[in-house]
Structure 1
Amino acid sequence: MNVYEYLLSYGIKPSVQRIAIMDYLLKHRTHPCIDEIYMALCSEIPTLSKTTVYNTLKLFVEHGAAKMLTIDERNACFDADTTMHAHFQCKVCGKIYDIQLEEITSAIKLLEKEGYAVEEAHRYYKGICPHCAESGNTGN
């Protein structure tokens, strides 16, 4: 499925800006913030503004096409992977990693069995990633 069809599948009317922003999210699984997306796309789309990026991401979140992460208190980050999963943020390099946890899936199944309709699950971890630990960079 291409990005145009992907947006339509979430009930979002595709535009040049929306397609570019969603394409960026889908191709860059780095959990980018608004500024990162804007800086990456502004040379391709000269009419793009930070406000457009913000409003587009807000629309994606409202329609369920993306998730907003607030693991970093300074910046909201965005994730095109809308499956239930956890996140780990390295306190040294700041990168956010997707973490698949069976316990999240099990908890959701249990809640749904009891009649709860789970729409969101947030599980965040913070520490030092393997790359920073291996390089001896512990932030101290």
Structure 2
Amino acid sequence: MKNASAILLDNGIKPSYQRIRILEYLMTHRTHPTVAEVYNALIDEIPTLSKTTVYNTLKLLIDHEIVSEILIEEKEVLYDVAEEDHGHFKCVSCGALVDFDLIDAPPSVPEGFVVQSVHIYYKGLCDKCREKQNNA
């Protein structure tokens, strides 16, 4: 994968230090963070950083399809580097969010329609929580 600065330049985005660090954080921490989590992770390194800057940078990265929003719960927006299409599984017990590969079969859509993105979310119990539940 390219470095953050090159990705920004390739997409016509000025690679400011804050933008580079926000994108690098997402690229190295595949934890699907919130705006607050990105902000809290970088504030000590970048004392001038604001939550507004993080939000605006993420919006810019979404607009250029570098990052995608994950909306599984109405009250929570998570962010993910937009690499290959993949789905997400959220454990309803512990809250873990795990990526999984999508099946390569094309979606069935009406003739003439064009799919631009696919978002698949499953909710259930992860293996650890299922095991705890079975042993209880």
TM-score normalised according to structure 2 size: 0.88
Number of equivalent positions: 135
What corresponds to 2:56 in structure 1? Answer: 55
Q: Structure 1 or 2: larger helix share? A: 1
How far is the alpha carbon of 1:115 from its aligned partner? 5.1
State the secondary structure of the residue aligned to 2:12: coil
Gaps of 5+ in 1: none
Give the 5 Å matches for 1:39-78: 39-78=40-79
Q: CA RMSD in A?
A: 2.3
Unaligned runs of 5+ in 2: none
Which residue number corresponds to residue 94 of structure 2?
93
Runs of 4+ in 1 over 4 A off after TM superposition: none
Kept after mapping to 1: 8 A contact 2:65/2:82:
no
Q: 1:118 aligns with which of 115, 120, 124?
A: 115
Letter in 2 for 1:85: H
Aligned residue type for 2:126? C
Shift of 1:11: 2.3
The normalised TM-score by structure 1 is: 0.86
Tell me if the contact between 1:30 and 1:95 (Cα under 8 Å) persists in the aligned partners.
Answer: no
Matching residue's letter, 2:86: H
The one-letter amino acid of 1:10's match is N
